[in-house]
Amino acid sequence: MQSGFIPFHVLRDGVRLHGRIGGQGAPLLLLHGHPQTLEIWHRVAPVLSARFTLVMMDLRGYGDSDRPASDAEHLAYSKREMARDAMAVMAHHGFARFQVLAHDRGARVAHRLAADHPQAVERLMLLDVAPTLAMYERTSEDFARAYWHWFFLIQPPPLPEALIESDPARYVRSVMGGRHAGLAPFAPNALAEYERCAAIPGFARGICEDYRASATIDLAHDRADVAAGLRLAQPLRVLWGRHGVVGRCFDVLSLWRERADQVSGDALPCGHYIPEEAPDALAEEALRFFT
């Protein structure tokens, strides 16, 4: 990550959360996806930090944040618990109300954050995701083949963990390199950072528990929201990769309009890893939407 961003650590219920903060202006929380870290923002953060105070954090289980033990219901890695992490990080910096830019797994945390803490989230931009419940319920063969890791990581322990731990860097490269553009979009320093963090003990457990939670407790929380008629009231902008799997397999805008009142969105000329494949287009979208 570029200079000018100050590392921080926040301890919440025994879980140490790592992040970086920098810039000036209104607070903007940035959340990364799988199998990455806050390093994904290295190409857009310099632009956005001229207008916003950026708070970038590693989700629990990822990066330099802790990888806590889980439980039979996977509650420790529910998106509700991760959203509470985000609230604690923002409160630590004195921000009671903020905006959110989030990719992939981080976007699922952001969805729960906006649903559970509407007083805190002013507006949000989600990158290359449809709602978790809809994606599981409407999975096709095309999606299952492309997103094989969704179904591999949720298998009971210890098999997925053991296979990942046998060569964490190979796992990272296989997942990230198996998309539209291969490994070409990733700067060497960024890729090295993802591989370093994947080698930290507990990484495999953390990412498996993240996905196990999404296939169990997170779906229960989402179904409860639907049954209660709970919808996001905040302005929501969704972007997806024109060459990605999500836009090919799902009607992204329609699915988000089932869950939120104010939705706009568009495809960008890239694959899944929008912050690294199309940073200029993303920065332009973010400046327009969040300013």
- State the CATH number of the domain containing residue 137: 3.40.50.1820
* pLDDT band per the 50, 70, 90 thresholds, residue 3: confident
Q: Is the pLDDT of residue 5 over 60?
A: yes
* pLDDT digit string, tens, across residues 9-35: 999 999 999 999 999 999 999 999 999
Q: Does residue 249 lie within any of the structural domains?
A: yes
Q: Does residue 161 lie within any of the structural domains?
A: yes
Supply the pLDDT for residue 198.
98
Could you give the CA distance from residue 86 to residue 17 in angstroms, rounded to a whole number?
9
Q: Identify whether 104 is a catalytic site residue.
A: yes
* pLDDT band per the 50, 70, 90 thresholds, residue 107: very high
Contact 59, 65 (CB under 8 A): yes
Q: Does residue 229 lie within any of the structural domains?
A: yes
Q: Per-residue b/e over 144-167, b at no fewer than 16 CB within 10 Å?
A: eebbebbebbbeeeeebbeebbee
* Tally of domains in the chain: 1
Phi, psi torsion values for 106, nearest 5 degrees: -60, -30
Q: Identify whether 272 is a catalytic site residue.
A: yes
Say which of 32, 42, 149, 272 is annotated catalytic. Answer: 272
Say which of 104, 128, 210, 218 is annotated catalytic. Answer: 104
- Average pLDDT on 178-204 reads 97
Q: Is the pLDDT of residue 1 over 90?
A: no
Q: Does residue 1 lie within any of the structural domains?
A: no
Provide the residue range defining the domain that includes 208: 6-290
Alpha helices in the chain (DSSP H): 45-48, 79-92, 105-116, 132-137, 141-146, 148-153, 159-165, 168-177, 188-198, 203-214, 217-228, 245-249, 252-257, 274-277, 279-290
68: helix, strand or coil? coil
Q: Does residue 227 lie within any of the structural domains?
A: yes
Instruction: Name which of 216, 230, 255 is nearest 129 in CA terms.
Output: 255
- Average pLDDT on 96-121 reads 98
Share the mean pLDDT of the chain: 97
